Structure 1
């Protein structure tokens, strides 16, 4: 059963979870004439400020989930909430349909095309790059909207889109898992490694969630896959839409890297050579190939792709150069919320052997940190641990390099500046979620930049 607004006209909706996407969805439903009841387990005082201007037709509760939501005709579940939440279980028992914020938003969205990007790593950079390409190739009167797991929730832009517009979505496994029906005109599955397994209940269910990005597509739609990623290649066999692949030269690849250029074949009338964006690491070449195939597969001209590649400067919190401060080159990679992302960062910094001061830690997500050992031993001068995962990190990486338990980000940065030498690289690439000490990875990244900048001021004090 997909979400059909007409079938629920005049009925009451429950929104479970009043974070950014939940609030945006509640506002959307209120604007479309629904009465909405919101519920969140966080204290009322914490929620009151963000809910002060919701307008008529909206009521809410905080502190716990009562049975008041059971009087609603349908519910919208905010991404990230556990499917085992007792309220959701009670709704299932009563036959109350529960939809994702994403599919409710798209039901009201009039966009001419929807492009969706998912994968364990690289989603945000690829989404931003795809949007820049489509903007470069856009005709007058056509807008490109970027939303989803990046920037604004889809519900916040749904009513602002026209039939000529393109919506570019970053889509998480949480959003895909919750969506009963999701049909993007074009999609990309960048890669799959173990992540969020505590939420999904194992790797099989995580794979099932990622596969939702193409399961409702039709033969005329498009999905781009990573031919160099075994799990991605495996589940691509279940895709019934048009498939394009990027990865190693040969095999099924329609895009590959050769002599520093992205080569494309079998997509446009003639083979292409594109100069990739100036971004560090092999992973960004993969992101660029995926973006190119999505755009070219949807008819964007090669010149627009190359124009966007020339101007693209990367994304905040993804191997973001903060500057050289007191002799240390400081890099913000706060978006590295899993071990594989940190591995990618260390691989990208191949010229920094033995000079990396690495800040690791945060909220543990269930995967071991031992896969980091070889690169840590080769490239990392010292590890500075923070957050609740610190002890596990210290156990898994003991003996690979010097480890300094710091607890907090501020202490980690101060310690790194004491130990580091001019020419070293201070890297925040935590391999963990941020929620034990920060609002989100963006909050963590901004705090990192503030704290390293403060090192200049502290040095200037008499």
Structure 2
């Protein structure tokens, strides 16, 4: 009998493997930048200017994986070769890599309607400002912030000087020259941090909490960037939006738009004005500045020896910030007496070829130039004014009344020259000049000893210079060579 062969048992059919569903992204806070929550996320820094470079450097030092995405080609980037090892650079355009990141850090110069920002928004990737990301690593709550269309840098310097005179260890960061991300690592608990913050920095700051802040003034200077005056005002308002109720915000009572913002502010509000009023906590009285905070005795302090009513207003704003931060009145008197002003802001450059020379290269808009002319009204009819550069919206017609009263001659430079000549026709004699060097040379030819040469361009500088500082330094070098 044949043995029946054993059949191998049938194998059970393999179960079809389920496709692994993608892991859900961890829930991350989008109302603010929290370093601990975002620690495992790759950071995308948009833009490789100064702010972008130092933001990338800070995040890399803090252990984040960093991608820097820049629209300019690599050869046009000053900081490309300085990025630390491990930081990836995408130059020549914002590609798909930005969408692989967990969050983005926006450099201040990137326009709100930039396509890359729309792509990030559509992908649900939060975008934070360089200011907010850097401030997330700030160890001190003693933060003073200054914003406004004009006067920010001067008030920032003044406030820092007042707090130093009060014995504080003070750091100045932001638009004043050193990006917040570049200097925040040097700040220690108990230090005072004074920040100059622009609307560009504030617009993407989802959370920002200074202890004291000031809104000096608001004009239409940056509406082209923000798209509307409402958006510009909303950006300025972010300086106080997250402040505690016991914080302090200082407002210019004489500036309609700044005063209007105060109505929406829920913190303690202090106002300054050149004229006394029941509203003002700082005002001018008999040539001195009077300060009176709620519940304190009034004090009088001599203003710094700087030209113009605008500098009295600047000093009052800085004084209120310092007093609100605990500085004693005697510190104000000491610091204001020693304060010499800030470079490129109605800066006295001495004499050259018999002319008094003033460097106001920071006068990048019509309002700034109006302030400069008002501060020199005692020189009426003797001012040689250099105007021009890259024009901003609005034209130059608002200068006509002061130009016709105070200015002997206008010397135009840069791409705005034709528009200036058109808007100021008949207000003063206009000398078209291609360059700043030519304008200074013509001024020396037509000027008489005792007259004033004023560089206050009412324009941006980027058509011929790197920035307003470069323009101001070139002007001062031309004066030095002429002596």
**Distance (Å, rounded) in 2 between the aligned partners of 1:18 and 1:186:** 31
Partner of 1:459: none
The offset of 1:164, in angstroms, is 0.6
Contact persistence 1:112–1:162 (CA under 8 A) = no
Alignment of structure 1 residues 82-161 onto 2, 5 Å: 82-139=111-168, 143-161=169-187
Alpha-carbon shift at residue 396 of structure 1 (Å): 1.0
User: What is the Cα deviation at residue 305 of structure 1?
Assistant: 1.1
CA contact (8 A) 2:141 2:211 kept: no
CA distance in 2, matches of 1:314, 1:285: 12
Query: Would you say 1:441 and 2:471 are equivalent positions?
Result: no
Deviation track 1:212-258 (CA, whole Å, cap 9, x = no partner) reads: 11111121111001111111111101100011110021131011001
Residue 190 of structure 1: CA displacement? 0.6
Question: Structure 1: which 4+ aligned runs deviate by more than 3 Å?
Answer: none
The answer on 1:260 being equivalent to 2:291 is no
Matched, 1:235 2:265: no
Distance 1:269 1:14 in 2: 49
* Aligned residue number for residue 36 of structure 2: 6
Runs (5+) with no aligned partner, structure 1: 457-462
Where is the helix percentage greater, Structure 1 or Structure 2?
1
Once the 2 structures are TM-superposed, how far is the Cα of residue 136 of structure 1 from its aligned partner?
Answer: 0.8
1:250 and 1:27 mapped to 2: Cα distance? Answer: 49
* 2:222 paired residue number: 196
The match for 1:162 is: 188
Q: Distance in 2 between matches of 1:319 and 1:391?
A: 25
Q: 1:36-67 CA deviation, whole Å, 9 max, x = no partner?
A: 111222221121x4232322221112222222
Shift in CA distance, 444/323, structure 1 to aligned 2, threshold 3 Å:
same
**Cα distance, 1:342–1:365 mapped onto 2, change above 3 Å:** same
Matched, 1:184 2:210: yes
1:389 to 392, 416, 423: 416
Is residue 304 from structure 1 mapped to residue 331 from structure 2 by the alignment? Answer: yes
Q: Give the TM-score normalised by the residue count of structure 2.
A: 0.92
In the TM superposition, what whole-angstrom CA distance separates every residue of 1:198-218 from its partner, at most 9, and x where no partner exists?
A: 111121211111111111112
Instruction: Using structure 1 for the length normalisation, give the TM-score.
Output: 0.96
Q: Counterpart in 2 of 1:16?
A: 46
Deviation at 1:408, TM superposition (A): 1.3
1:453: Cα distance to partner?
1.6
Give the equivalent residue in structure 1 for 2:10.
Answer: none
Map Cα deviations across residues 147-177 of structure 1 (whole Å, 9 max, x no partner): 1001210001112111111110001111111
Tell me, in whole angstroms, the C-alpha distance in 1 between the residues paired with 2:474 and 2:54.
26
Aligned residues: 452
User: Which residue number in structure 2 is paired with residue 41 of structure 1?
Assistant: 71
Q: Is the 8 A contact 2:389 2:464 kept in 1?
A: yes
For residues 190 and 55 of structure 1, the distance between their equivalents in structure 2, rounded to whole angstroms, comes to 38
What aligned pairs does 1:343-362 form with structure 2 within 5 A after superposition? 343-362=370-389
Deviations 1:295-327 (A, max 9, x none): 111211011111111111000000111110110
Separation in 2, partners of 1:123, 1:411: 31
Q: How does 1:306-321 map to 2 (within 5 A)?
A: 306-321=333-348
CA deviation string 1:375-407 (max 9, x = no partner) = 100110111111111111111111100111112
Q: Distance in 2 between matches of 1:256 and 1:57?
A: 54
Q: Is contact 1:123–1:170 with CA below 8 Å preserved after alignment?
A: yes
Structure 2 CA distance for aligned equivalents of residues 178 and 384 of structure 1: 39
Q: Take 1:441 and 1:266, find their aligned partners in 2: how far apart are those partners? A: 37
